[in-house]
Amino acid sequence: MTQTTDYLVIGGGSAGAVVAARLSEDPDVRVTLVEAGRNERHPLLTMPIAFPMVMADKRFNWGYEGEPEPHADNRRLRQPRGKGLGGSSLINGMLYARGHPRDYDEWRQLGLEGWSYDDVLPFFKRSENHWGPADHYHGTGGPLSITKHVPDKRLFPRFIEAAKSLGYKTQRDHHGPDQEGWGSPDISIHNGRRGSTAARFLHPAMKRPNLTVITGALATKIEISNGRATALQFIGDGREQRIEAEREIVLCGGAFNTPQLLMLSGIGPADELREHGIAVVQDLPGVGRNLQDHPSVGIISGAQREVTLTNELRFDRLTLSMLEWLATGKGRIANMPVTANGWVKTRPDLERPDAQCLFQPTSIFARPWFPGVKKPAPDVVAMACVQLRPEGRGWVKLASADPRAKPRILSNVLATENDRAFFRRIVPMIREIFATSPLAEVVGTEIAPGPDVRTDAEIDAWVRQAVNTAMHPVGSCAMGTGEDAVCDARLRVRGIEGLRIADASVMPRIVGGNTNAACIMIGEKAADMIRTA
């Protein structure tokens, strides 16, 4: 049996949930959203402090793993992606970061009309219910609650004082006129609970009679007839099914699944499609290319227990905190385990920050413990150091023509000398902060990279062993004006009518910060483009 709809949205993630919710605001159109995952309601998914646990949980994660990285000792990097309504906003770290205004101005300079910072700012503001007043930079009254992280009183003041004494800026609002500096981050948390795009956009919209949401549905092929996208084939309830779209199909699968589905549908590099026995519908060499992510390493030092989260992760105390959170939405569980967030320059001549650093009072591997039953994780503080604009470009390719097969992914971290030199600069900078009073009084011996790692060659070797991505993949179906572009500035797939892409894959260049906010903006802008077409 073939179903029909006006607008078909494939993928209910960070952007797709927004697209479906916004399109369904028009009661005169039928909107259908198809999602491979489920409508997950597990309590851990709403608990901010639990995000490292849910990110590792196979129930909510596609569980991708990359190809051997040639510049990182051939290590395979984990590539988690959220699976379920809300996509990666269901499992991410909840940091709300737009990137730098110039990031979007550079998109416009690539010939992408309508994508300068002034162009996209209204769509950021449309989503927001910001912690501050509505002004030029921020909106209030939107579905997405943007709250200010509540810094702890033991470690945050010491850290900020140390940073200020070294000449670093501090910022109350990283999304105002100046991004640079240290402060407490903005977070997408609502009343102490994770604000995924499913919770904040989609679930309220699902009450509308013109919105149909189909979960547990694996998309297998977009049908193209006479150059137009007309239908989706998918597997749901153990059988093959089909939906026809009378107006448009909007592909929102993310940086890995969007190029995979395009290639399974015959849209992509012709030679690669033929290798897998897939008939070429549209030769688009850029599909799966231009993959970008933020390389990241963690600098870890021992610390006095009173400034870490160790005591609060003791099972009995954690249980009391959980009861407080369930009753009031407040307490330590209602916050993410980040003390400070900073956008900094590793060279004084740079016009904008090239590093994002996140200071944490624990290791990401810390788990609940109890005396005599399970030992606590070591008492540590950690700094995640993220390179914001790497030069390396990776790819996404098909492993086979089987839609159940996971795609092949190469991030290509540390591919250039500039990418490697970034880490030689940031490691000494963080070490200096850790060694500066009053932070130095509570920070102990360095664990990673370790006190013996000093020379450029030693730092390079450690980075090759330690580097991962920040799990911000973008760019694999990029907007553009040249032959390598997959879609145009209105997100329309080149050479195919009735098919748009709205997700992280369309970014021509990665933005300087966590990518979830940009994905939500893309969802807002895509819905606006479609409704005004």
| Cβ partners under 8 Å of residue 326, min gap 6 | none
Q: Are 94 and 105 in contact (CB under 8 A)?
A: no
Exposed e or buried b for every residue in 391-401, given b needs 16+ CB within 10 A? ebbbbbbbeee
> Would you give the DSSP letter of residue 372?
T
Per this entry, what is the length of the chain?
533
Average pLDDT over residues 5-31: 99
Report if residue 221 sits inside a domain: yes
> How much of the chain, in percent, has pLDDT values that exceed 90?
89
Whether residues 233 and 165 fall in one domain: no
Number of C-beta neighbours around residue 356 at 10 A:
26
Whether residues 163 and 175 fall in one domain: yes
Whether residues 19 and 109 fall in one domain: yes
The boundaries of the domain holding residue 225 are 1-67+80-140+195-291+474-533
Residue 1: pLDDT over 70: no
Whether residues 252 and 129 fall in one domain: yes
Axis-axis angle for helices 516-531, 117-127 (nearest 10): 100
The tokens of 141 are what? 């009254």
CA–CA separation, 493 vs 222, rounded Å? 13
At residue 312 the predicted structure's pLDDT band, cuts being 50, 70 and 90, is confident
CA atoms within 13 A on the CB side of 131: 19
Average pLDDT over residues 480-487: 97
Report if residue 456 sits inside a domain: yes
Q: Is the dihedral of CA 320, 305, 53, 355 positive or negative?
A: positive
Report if residue 398 sits inside a domain: no
Q: Is there a catalytic annotation at residue 472?
A: yes
Whether residues 226 and 318 fall in one domain: no
The radius of gyration computed from the CA coordinates of the chain, to the nearest angstrom, equals 23
Report if residue 394 sits inside a domain: no
At residue 238 the predicted structure's pLDDT band, cuts being 50, 70 and 90, is very high
Whether residues 370 and 260 fall in one domain: no
Report if residue 410 sits inside a domain: no
Q: What is the pLDDT of residue 265?
A: 99
CA–CA separation, 16 vs 13, rounded Å? 5
Report if residue 334 sits inside a domain: yes
Q: What is the pLDDT of residues 84-112, one digit of tens each?
A: 999 999 999 999 999 999 999 999 999 99
Number of domains, the chain = 2
Q: What is the pLDDT of residues 332-345, one digit of tens each?
A: 889 888 999 999 99
Whether residues 2 and 46 fall in one domain: yes
> Would you give the DSSP letter of residue 201?
I
Q: Tell me, what CATH number does 522's domain have?
A: 3.50.50.60
Residue 131: pLDDT over 80: yes
Report if residue 239 sits inside a domain: yes
The tokens of 78 are what? 């984990």
Report if residue 75 sits inside a domain: no
Exposed e or buried b for every residue in 46-76, given b needs 16+ CB within 10 A? bbbbbbbebbebeebbbebebbebebbeeee
Number of C-beta neighbours around residue 78 at 10 A:
14
Whether residues 342 and 218 fall in one domain: no
Q: What is the pLDDT of residues 429-447, one digit of tens each?
A: 999 999 999 999 999 999 9
> Would you give the DSSP letter of residue 185?
P
**Domain end (from 447, 466, 485):** 466
Q: How far apart are the first and last CA of the chain?
A: 30
Least confident of 42-56, 112-126, 171-185, 279-293: 42-56
Residue 4: pLDDT over 90: yes
Q: Tell me, what CATH number does 178's domain have?
A: 3.30.410.40
- In the set 100, 175, 190, 472, the catalytic residue is 472
pTM for the predicted model, two decimal places = 0.97
The tokens of 381 are what? 């503080």
Whether residues 487 and 503 fall in one domain: yes
**Domain end (from 466, 485, 505):** 466
Q: Provide the mean pLDDT of the chain.
A: 96
**Domain end (from 449, 466, 483):** 466
Whether residues 283 and 424 fall in one domain: no
Indicate the SS3 state at residue 530. Answer: helix
Whether residues 101 and 240 fall in one domain: yes
Residue 369: pLDDT over 80: no
Whether residues 310 and 282 fall in one domain: no
For the chain, helix (H) and strand (E) counts, in that order, are 13, 25
At residue 281 the predicted structure's pLDDT band, cuts being 50, 70 and 90, is very high
CA–CA separation, 435 vs 417, rounded Å? 28
Query: Which of 453, 451, 344 is CA-nearest to residue 443?
Result: 451
